[in-house]
Structures are given as structure tokens and as C-alpha cells.
Amino acid sequence: MGSSSYFFTSLLLVVVFNLAKGQPLVPALFIFGDSVVDVGNNNHLYTIVKANFPPYGRDLKNHNPTGRFCNGKLASDYTAENLGFTSYPPAYLNLKAKGNNLLNGANFASAASGYYDPTAKLYHAIPLSQQLEHYKECQNILVGTVGQSNASSIISGSIYLISAGNSDFIQNYYINPLLYKNIYALGARKIGVTTLPPMGCLPATITLFGSDSNQCVVKLNNDAINFNKKLNTTSQSLQKSLSGLKLAILDIYQPLYDLVTKSSENGFFEARKACCGTGLLETSVLCNQKSIGTCANASEYVFWDGFHPSEAANKVLSDDLLAAGISLIS
């Protein structure tokens, strides 16, 4: 057994031991970001960027679309399971996501959002700055539900997952640490931030920018790599300046790049084309029940639509997120 496999096995043993106590590893999970982690907030918005119709969600337990840009579970859903939660943080804009329903956390993510506010506004999505305002509202609801002392305990002990930048990484090439400082000021102490994925390997970006090649677009991948380096630098700086902050950078670039470039070794049949439609470009409204060519078995595909991983790929990515974020729960 290699050292990495030994480490991951040891990690799982630690997690299983803690979960045997019958409680989640942290009080709650709060999620911010874009379509990679949106579980239905965009369903309530006047925007074309939605996924609340078939074939989205076809491989979920009830086979119904929820607003997730996937055939099934997201990596963040698997993360919630890994942390011991029996349900997923609900979409905050869902009117049922109030009171006791917020005790295990909430999801504020909005497809087409990003670090750069104008990106979200272009598609009538919720920018991260507004997601933070929703979180403030959530804090007030928690205080009203369980009292100030219990709410403070939930807030400081919870994990905060931020997954953004896919929509706007070129416009927002330099990371602005203000978002992390603001969420820290609101009591967050355990923050996990995902890196950008290999943007040049997404089926849609290869189709649009690949110059008739089926290979990953090197320039876009290099942009993502440079962005991720700045994200790491920002993380190190913030942890030095903000007392008690645990900020883990959760790398999804390399795991997804490996799934694309070594797909057969990882149990996948197709990595260039997505499952939905032609697999070359479709996402959101272009990925629908009338899309010709949609695959029968999405588990063989790394990508569900032109921009988003399949449920099977999300399961693999979630295991890497667990390993990268162990410092947040240790």
C-alpha cells in the first residue's frame, strides 16, 4: 500500500471512529459559491441559469430535479455525508429552510455567481457579497431559534465551504481576501475554499476554445493554476493575521485533471464528452429532456453536462476534499 493510500485509510478510520459516537463531526455546514454547489437557490430567481428540470437529478433517489447541476449528488452532498449529516444543507431561498431546518447549516450558493459581483448580476444570480448578507439573516434566525449562546457555539464550530470562481476567474484574476475577512468577522473559524478546477478540460471549454482539438486547453488550465497559487498565498497570509482561523485550501484541480487524463484508470469510459446531449456544450436549459444523444449510464462519464462533473466523479472528488479538509475537523 502506497503512502497516500495508507494516509487516506488512516483518515477514514479517524472519521469512522468519530461518527460512531452518533453525531456529526461539526455542528453545521454552511456553503457558498456557484453552480458547482448550488442545490436550488436559483430555482427562486428570475434567471435562465437553472437546473430544476429533467434530466437533471435523474439519478437521485426520487429521480426528481432539485436545482443541482448534476445527474445526482454534488461533491458537497458527499462532504455532508462524510461529516456525518443525514440530510444536506438546504437551499436558503427555499421558504422551508427556516427555524430548526437551519440547525445543521444552509446552502447560499447560486449558479453563475462568483467572486466578482458583476458576473453574478449579468445572469441575475446571487453574488457572494449578497450570499454573505443571507448568512447574516441566517445567524439572526439561529439566535431566535436556539438563543445567543447556542447560536454562537454553532457558528464558531461549523465548517464553511466556499466553491466559486468558475464563472469569473479571468475577470477576477487577483484574489480579494475581503470575503474571507468578512465571514471571519461574523464568527466563522473553519473555512474550506476549493481551488479552480482544470477549466481547460471541461467539455464545453474544449469545444469553444480548443481549436478543433480534443485535448485540454493549456492556456485556460494555466490561468487556473496561477489563480490557485494566489489563493494559496492569500490563505497563508490570512491565517497569520487572523487569530484562530483555520483556512484549508481544498484542491479539486489535480483530482479532476487526473479523472480527465486517466479516465479509464479511474473507472470512467468517457472524459471528453459529457453525458447530456451531444456532450460537447450543453448545460442548463440546453440540457433538457429533448437533448438528443443523452447517455444511458452517467456513471461512465466524468462530466454530466458541458461544465459540471457527474455524480460518480463528484464521489471521487469528495474523497479528496475530505482528505484535504481534515485539518478543519481535527
Grid cell digits, residue 259 = 479523472
Q: Does 308 participate in catalysis according to the annotation? A: yes
User: Which residue from 105, 98, 97 is spatially nearest to 26, judged by alpha carbons?
Assistant: 105
Please give the C-alpha separations between residue 254 and each of 25, 108, 249, 322, in angstroms, as whole numbers.
26, 26, 13, 15
Angle at 249 between CA 243 and CA 252, to 5 degrees: 170
Residue pair 246/184 in contact by the 8 Å Cβ criterion: no
User: Which residue from 178, 179, 220 is spatially nearest to 196, judged by alpha carbons?
Assistant: 220
H/E stretch holding 156 reads helix 148-157
As a whole number of angstroms, the distance between CA 76 and CA 11 comes to: 18
- State the chain's maximal CA–CA distance in angstroms: 59
As a whole number of angstroms, the distance between CA 227 and CA 194 comes to: 11
Q: Give phi and psi for 223, each to the nearest 5.
A: -60, -45
> What type of residue sits at position 238?
L
Q: Which one from 305, 310, 318, 320 is the annotated catalytic residue?
A: 305
As a whole number of angstroms, the distance between CA 224 and CA 8 comes to: 26
Q: Which one from 34, 35, 158, 320 is the annotated catalytic residue?
A: 35
Q: Which one from 34, 263, 308, 318 is the annotated catalytic residue?
A: 308
Supply the residues annotated as catalytic: 35, 305, 308
